Amino acid sequence: MTDDPFERDLRSALANGVPMAAPASLRAVVLETPSARPLRSVLARAAVLAVAALTVASVAVLVGYATTRPADVGGRGGSDPAAIRWQTRTVSFAATSLVIDAGSQRFFGSPDSIVSSDPGSPTYTTLEVIWREHDTEMRLNFYLAADETTWWVSEIRTYDGRPMGEIPGTAGSADWITYRGTFFRTPLGEPFVGDVDLSSSEGHVAGRLRIEDLSLSFTPLSLSSMEGCRPAISVPPPGDGPIGIQRGGVDPELGLDPSMTPHEVGARLRDLGSAIRTDTSSLSSTPGRSGAGSRTGRSGSSCMEARARFSSSSTRSEPRPRRPRS
């Protein structure tokens, strides 16, 4: 225990009024669980095909990114429609180009991005993207908010391109450039569509953020989308775009992790003795070994049926998204 009276009093002030034990109601929280058959029965059935990674509490999805990069610093991030797509359970981002100016450096993004969201609540979520460019880490964060009728972005942050140091904010260490305001206010349920050109001096270096043909949408987290659901899910054939995000819970028997790539999902399913098929139109379960497939949801269930969303531009030649290894 410290001899510093300040620390003693601080600890005492923090603990003041805090009960020693949690209320009994918290120990009695009802944990709703979709009925699940034991894993053995899944294997024994041999008639089940399973599919894409889904939501549990958090999902990270890699994005297709245009292979075309500008040859000069003034170029666009890509000429293909929707060259950039970032998708999580709560946020959808698509744009034809992204340019981040941080001091004297310019960043365009990378196919090897880690995309994630704080699923937050019906009134808050984030979109957080991390990648390496110019041999340093860049981050782009959107902080989204909503009220009863509209949603907006309350803050955007990027890293400032400086090298990572021990303590941010100290000389030479990477820190944030912050763009504050009420951006993209849009009625709930609708996407924001437009171009973005923002500047900020809130940081060690000046920043500018330009996004062309942005389509940004906020799907607030809803508890009703998570309960008691055995969804039908499907995965695109190998080589196709990113896995879409679906409403509803994942069957825990499958042992699928929401952060898995399609390849990892397929490997897991093969471990279970299942297979994937290319036919995604049928919801029937069929044994076999080819392509991508689907799994039957419970008929008559009140669950929301899960639907995969694929990259809309399957004709683009873009690199297959890879999950970066930490």
Partner 1 sequence: MPLTKEPIALEGTVALEQPVPLEATGDRERSFRRLLDAHLDRSYGLATVILGDRSDAEDATHDAIEKAWRAFGDLRSPERFESWFQRILINVCRDRRRARRPQLPLPDVESPGARQPLLPSHERDLALRTAERDALERALATLGDDQRVCIALRYFLDLEIDEIASRLGARPGTVKSRLHRATAHLRAAYDAAARRDPEGVR
Give the interface with partner 1 as residue ranges (CB under 8 A).
Answer: 5-7, 9-23, 25-27, 29, 31-33, 35-36, 38-39, 56-60, 116-121, 123-124, 126, 128, 139, 141, 157, 164-169, 173, 175-176, 178, 202-204, 223, 226, 249-250, 252-253, 255, 257-259
CB of 125 to partner 1, least distance (A): 9
CB of 200 to partner 1, least distance (A): 11
CB of 96 to partner 1, least distance (A): 25
**Which is nearer to partner 1, 32 or 197 (by Cβ)?**
32
**Which is nearer to partner 1, 29 or 71 (by Cβ)?**
29
**Which is nearer to partner 1, 258 or 293 (by Cβ)?**
258
And the tokens for 11? Answer: 């600890």
**Which is nearer to partner 1, 70 or 122 (by Cβ)?**
122
* Amino acid in position 326: S
**Which is nearer to partner 1, 128 or 318 (by Cβ)?**
128
Pairwise CA distance, residues 30 & 21, whole Å: 19
CB under 8 Å to 296, separation ≥6 — which residues? 232, 283, 284, 285
Query: Which residue is associated with the tokens 């790539």?
Result: 261
CB of 321 to partner 1, least distance (A): 17
CB of 68 to partner 1, least distance (A): 29
Pairwise CA distance, residues 254 & 268, whole Å: 8
- Residue 217 and residue 202 in contact, taking contact as beta carbons nearer than 8 Å: no
**Which is nearer to partner 1, 56 or 283 (by Cβ)?**
56
Show contacts of 79-86: CB within 8 Å, 24+ apart.
80/313, 80/316, 81/213, 81/313, 82/213, 82/215, 82/312, 82/313, 84/109, 85/241, 85/242, 85/311, 86/61, 86/113, 86/115, 86/127, 86/129
